[in-house]
Copies of this chain bind each other. A is one copy, B any other.
Amino acid sequence: MKKFNKVAVVGVGLIGGSMALTIKKKGLAKEVVGVSRKKRNLLLAKRRGVIDQGSQSLGIVKDADLLVFATPVETIMDFAPLVSRLVKKDCIVTDVGSTKRAIVSRLEKLFPHYIGSHPLAGSEKQHVRNACVGMFKDSLCILTPTKSTKIKSLNQIRMLWKQMGAKTVLLSPQEHDRILSFVSHLPHIAAFSLMGAIPREYFKFAACGLKDTTRIASSGGELWTDIIFSNKNNISRNIKILQDNLSKINSAIQRNDKRYLASILRVAKEKRDSLD
């Protein structure tokens, strides 16, 4: 793979930071620069060797030949028009947003060499202090080309993820959002709702089960508000599916239908066992 001259990462958090760090450590670029709202964040990123240069202003992305948006979904949408006036016409652009339909639709109009990415990696610990080179190793990264995607850009982004250790798979932005609304967004919403339901004074009786089930509720905040609003229809439908499944269990309890409850639990167990 041809080395990039200058890579710009807008949003130096867990994922943006891990990309920057991995690109630097693997020598995939001559220079990696980062943009962040917070000066402290940039200082830490520089000290940890995540980026070569950092700035609180977008001007630093000028001359980049690869630009990565790694902020929450809404911020990507907000920054994109300004960034498009700053970068070179032939700059390859990607983002790591957790939903793709809205982002791809906007960004592919602004950047001729854009292709959406979604690395299925990360954790609820969202900060550059947790960024690491191994973040994408053996993970899956979904790319979301459309009919306007240039093959050359697709191949370069694909190769970049491969070099960072990820396997890539192609989905349309619509397919991506539908699938992720089930395997990622719904579990998060279940965890948020579960946390809300459990009285705090009972926490001292919590064992691993509750902790595991709700671990991802720790990622609540701006990031997830954005994700949910950028995939409203899929998520809204899924919440109803989950509520229906809860109702099935509740009505089995009410009408004393042990066999039906047992069959629901058997299917759940069997599906979960096939997930590992």
Specify the chain B residue showing the minimal Cβ separation from A249: B189
**What CA separation (Å) do A102 and B76 show in the bound complex?**
56
Q: Is the Cβ of A187 less than 8 Å from the Cβ of B200?
A: no
Q: Is the Cβ of B253 less than 8 Å from the Cβ of A194?
A: no
**What CA separation (Å) do A205 and B122 show in the bound complex?**
14
Main DSSP-derived SS at the A contact region: helix
Task: Give the chain B neighbours of A202 by CB distance below 8 A.
Answer: 179, 182-183
Q: Is the Cβ of B217 less than 8 Å from the Cβ of A190?
A: no
Report the copy number of this chain in the oligomer. 2
**CB-CB under 8 A for A261 and B229, given A268-B220, A275-B210:** yes
Interface residues of A in 251-267 (CB under 8 A from B): 253-254, 256, 258, 261-262, 264-267
Q: Which single member of B184, B245, B262 contacts A210 (CB below 8 Å)?
A: B184
**What CA separation (Å) do A193 and B202 show in the bound complex?**
23
**CB-CB under 8 A for A268 and B236, given A189-B246, A253-B228:** no
**What CA separation (Å) do A18 and B219 show in the bound complex?**
35
Can you show 26 pairs from A to B with CB atoms below 8 A apart?
A182-B199, A183-B202, A183-B207, A184-B207, A186-B194, A186-B198, A187-B213, A189-B249, A190-B213, A192-B264, A193-B248, A195-B272, A197-B245, A203-B274, A209-B215, A213-B213, A213-B216, A220-B268, A220-B269, A221-B265, A228-B249, A228-B253, A228-B261, A242-B246, A243-B243, A243-B246
Residues in chain A within 8 A of chain B (CB atoms)? 120-123, 139-140, 142, 179-180, 182-184, 186-200, 202-222, 224-225, 228-229, 232, 235-236, 238-243, 245-250, 253-254, 256, 258, 261-262, 264-269, 271-276
